[in-house]
Amino acid sequence: MFCRAIGARHRRACLAEHSRSFVSDDGRREALSQFFQLVETRFGNIESLMDEGSAAETIVSDELRPEHLARLLAHDATALHVRNFYERGTAIRIGNDLIEESVHNTNNWRVSTSRGLESSDVGTLGMHSPFNVATAKARQLNQGEGIDPVNEYFEGVQAEFKIRRRMPASARETGQFYRFWPLDKLRLELEESWPSGAGLAREEATKSADKPYPRPFGGGLPRIMKGPTRWKRGFIHVDELGPLDPFRGLFSANIYLKMPEIGDAKKSPEDAGSLYVWPLGVRSRLDWYRNAVTMSSLSAQDAASQIDLWHSLGQPNVIRPEPGDLVMLCTQRVR
């Protein structure tokens, strides 16, 4: 507005100044990129940061045990694989039901790539979006539009709990109306296994008349990955960048329901549906910055970064989950 008011000569000068500013910003970004590349070339060593011993282990068990959870949450294990956590036949039936549901109702949350936002290989089912999607949408909307994505999230969580615990209409004819949903089993056993107990986090308390009690966050959503996927060997990534902290962390749990048939694998048959996890244990900010170029590529979905990661990370731990298996890991672990 100011440039338009002061005439053409000053307008040109203003535009020139802005152009120099943009070039300067690009130059700073390029200089910073070159700096971190130089630092990693001289001081970086990803191989030296690979955990060894118990911290590099994938714990394999037939039940969820407190000592295994304690090791995993202290980053004294790379992953936890509980076999037959959920009954295999029931897991497959639920998986088939979800595949049928996905034909009519599925969401695909976009991921950041070097080309901008692109669709991922994972589709999500459910009555609500992930909480981070809801909060991002809330920030984008103008106040007073009458739409509250965060409130819609919490209302959707309640609806999701109820609908997943009901049997499909076809099964109700046999007199079965409710089922033990896999995530309910996980929540129950975490409560029983974790020494201090475990439960769903709840929203912050408010004095609103229409929401007098804090509502729970969702425990998770069904996800479906249909082939052929964009990356034949999978997409190497982390969900959270940063050093591991023995006193805190963000952890994920996946209960596998239906896996690819052996004939679906175009590489080696035993790799159909396999999960690769690397025991990379970055435990200080200094080590993170020494390897910042490689670490930053863990959030990029482009071919060049993926090729570099496969080359630099070495051999992963290979987990081959079966229907009904549970796998837990820290989201800062590379997989």
Domain ranges of the chain: 38-124+225-335, 126-221
Cβ atoms within 10 Å of 186's Cβ, excluding its own? 22
pLDDT-derived band at 322 (thresholds 50, 70, 90) equals very high
State the helix-helix crossing angle for 66-73 and 182-193, rounded to 10 degrees: 90
d(CA 65, CA 260): 28
Beta strands (DSSP E) in 180-331 are 223-225, 251-255, 275-277, 317-319, 326-330
102-116, 119-133, 178-192, 285-299, range with the lowest pLDDT: 102-116
> Is the bond preceding 228 in cis, omega lying within 30 degrees of 0?
yes
- Which of the pair, 329 or 130, is modelled with greater confidence? 329
- What predicted TM-score, i.e. pTM, was given to this entire model? 0.83
Quick: pLDDT tens for 224-262. Answer: 887 666 666 678 889 888 899 988 899 999 999 999 876
Burial of 173 (0-12, 13-18, 19+ CB in 10 A): exposed
User: Which one-letter amino acid corresponds to residue 43?
Assistant: F
- pLDDT of residue 263 exceeding 90: no
Which SS3 state, helix, strand or coil, does residue 104 take? coil
d(CA 190, CA 197): 7
- The residue written with tokens 């118990």 in the block is 54
Distance of CA 268 to the CA centre of its chain: 26
- pLDDT of residue 18 exceeding 80: no
Cβ distance 235 to 249 under 8 Å?
no
Proportion of the chain in helix, strand, coil states, percent, rounded to 5 = 45, 15, 45
**What average pLDDT does range 39-59 have in this prediction?**
93
**Which of the 8 DSSP states describes residue 54?**
G
- pLDDT of residue 6 exceeding 50: no
pLDDT attached to residue 112: 46
- pLDDT of residue 213 exceeding 90: no
Q: What's the farthest any 2 CA atoms get from each other in the chain?
A: 83
pLDDT attached to residue 139: 80
CA distances from 327 to 82, 117, 132, 136 (A): 6, 28, 23, 29
pLDDT attached to residue 146: 66
Q: Can you read off the two tokens belonging to residue 278?
A: 């690397």
**What average pLDDT does range 122-133 have in this prediction?**
87
Q: What does pLDDT average to over the chain? A: 83
d(CA 293, CA 71): 29
pLDDT attached to residue 24: 63
Mark residue 291 as left, alpha or beta (left: phi above 0; alpha: psi -120 to 50; beta: remaining): alpha
Beta strands (DSSP E) in the chain are 58-61, 79-82, 111-113, 116-118, 122-124, 223-225, 251-255, 275-277, 317-319, 326-330
Give the closest residue to 43 by CA, choosing from 291, 317, 328, 316.
291
Residues with Cβ within 8 Å of 224's Cβ and at least 6 positions away in sequence, in order, are 98, 99, 102, 106, 122, 123, 124, 125
d(CA 223, CA 195): 30
Cβ atoms within 10 Å of 23's Cβ, excluding its own? 10
